[in-house]
Amino acid sequence: MSHCCLCGLLCSLDGGARESAELQIESRTASIQPPKVQDCRRRNQWLRQSRSSESSSSSSSINRCLMTNDASAESQTAQVATISAIFKPRQRSLIWIDGADVNTTRSAVSLAQTIRGTVHIGQSSGSAATHSVLANQGWLGSSLAEVATHADLIVTLGGGLRVEAPLLAQRFLTPALAGGRAEWCHIDAHRDEDDAQPSGAPGAKLLPNYTAVWPRHKWYEALTHILLALQSASPSAEHQAARADASVDTLVSKLQRAKNTVWIWDAEEFHDAIDELSISRLLSISRLLTQSARCSLLCLDAQVGRVTAQETLLWLTGCNGTADFDGTRWNQPLSLRQIALEEWQHAFDSILVVSSVPSVHPLPNLNASHFMVTEQSLLPAGVEANQVTRVSTVGIDCDGHLMRGDRATMMYCAASQPASPRDKSPETRLPTAATLLDQLRNQLRSGAAVDAN
């Protein structure tokens, strides 16, 4: 079993030629053919964005230059020397990790310790909004494994899950729905056109048992009405009249009957102040239902490189999201909490952006000194070719360990391409980010020793 780096869930990178025992069991249970990587919406979205980016004159010239980059030992030495020049003594340096595997994050932390710098894991506004509510108040969490084996009511929120985690239904909801053990309810701002396809049609995908369509600006109101209805066995006439939609009553009755409910949404679904209120309503609903049953909340992050980097940084430094080394120990700087994206470039003298896991989203525009990123990474506008060093991609042309989007399982992700592609000899293959970061750390350490002598 391999892992698609463009998706928050397990998938087969060889197009379904070799399926694991887990896939075979799920396929027999649901009578649905296991999806192929070519069917992954997230992968296809990235391909469209990548082609669009390459069509522009500025980015295409950079891409053509970088795609033919010679990754020989001499070239690596020159690249390391170029990157090392951005780190000056007695200056504040930042290593910004957009998405990385375990080894790359370890190497970045070791480099930051050598230069007494700061490591920051780039976070989406959605994950920050969810964390600000749930982490401060506490909540009953869950995992995809628990959803597949124990949940009897699954409520998914928003269309982001279908795009960002397209294999969610086939891999984890199918076992729960088999034999009618569980029910799947979906809440969205608009109806998916694919939902009109009959379930019995050839190639039809797994569809929710029930779909409620609420305008996005009505979500907080609808969740409030659900909470009020659950608090009272017989809702008042005023509450009944104020319901945003008749589907609220249907969902309330399902929640009252369920013994193990799980609310699932994508990290990018909630991203502003009003969304934080919606998350608070979900938390209140979960706590109320947990008094007599079980109701858990599960926020999935489809950017598995970001999840892996966050967890690895926490393991190594004890700091969540941002870690600064002062020469003695790691600290979580209070001055960098909730800092705006455009302010990071003013807080540091040099910034190195690192990414070993691709994403459909462009890299942040930090006015960075240098980029150590994969060939699939989308660069911000105005980046010069000499500011970029391309590295191999975890799950595509190098191996690595990544954590699943529910933060419950670590997976070994084997490279999907042959070790020696026809168009690249072993001497010209791109180096891994971990290798370059280790070489950079050794060079800076040896340079510091020479200066000391």
Ranges 124-128, 376-380, 422-426, most confident: 376-380
Burial class of residue 121 in the structure, from the number of CB atoms within 10 Å of its CB (0-12 exposed, 13-18 middle, 19+ buried): buried
**pLDDT tens track for 424-433:** 555 557 899 9
Say which residues have a Cβ less than 8 Å from residue 447's Cβ, sequence separation at least 6: 84
- The pTM of this model reads 0.74
245 pLDDT above the threshold of 70: no
Average pLDDT over residues 253-278: 89
**Residue 436's pLDDT is what?**
95
**Residue 109's pLDDT is what?**
96
Residues 281 and 248: their CA atoms lie apart, in Å, by: 14
Ranges 34-38, 176-180, 203-207, 222-226, most confident: 222-226
Residues 202 and 200: their CA atoms lie apart, in Å, by: 7
Nearest alpha carbon to residue 413 among 6, 46, 96: 6
Residues 352 and 82: their CA atoms lie apart, in Å, by: 12
If phi > 0 it is left, if psi is from -120 to 50 it is alpha, else beta; for residue 154 that is: beta
**Residue 299's pLDDT is what?**
87
**pLDDT tens track for 13-63:** 443 333 333 333 344 444 445 455 556 665 666 556 555 544 543 444 444
Nearest alpha carbon to residue 9 among 417, 406, 297, 298: 406
**Residue 204's pLDDT is what?**
47
**pLDDT tens track for 210-234:** 888 888 888 999 999 999 999 985 5
User: What residue spans of 116-195 are helical by DSSP H?
Assistant: 125-137, 144-149, 160-164, 168, 174-177
**pLDDT tens track for 337-347:** 778 888 898 99
Domains and CATH numbers, the chain: 70-124+304-452 (3.40.50), 127-300 (3.40.228.10)
Residues 273 and 146: their CA atoms lie apart, in Å, by: 30
Q: For 376-403, give one letter per residue: b (16+ CB within 10 A) or e.
A: bbbbeeebeeebbbbbbbbbbbbebbbb
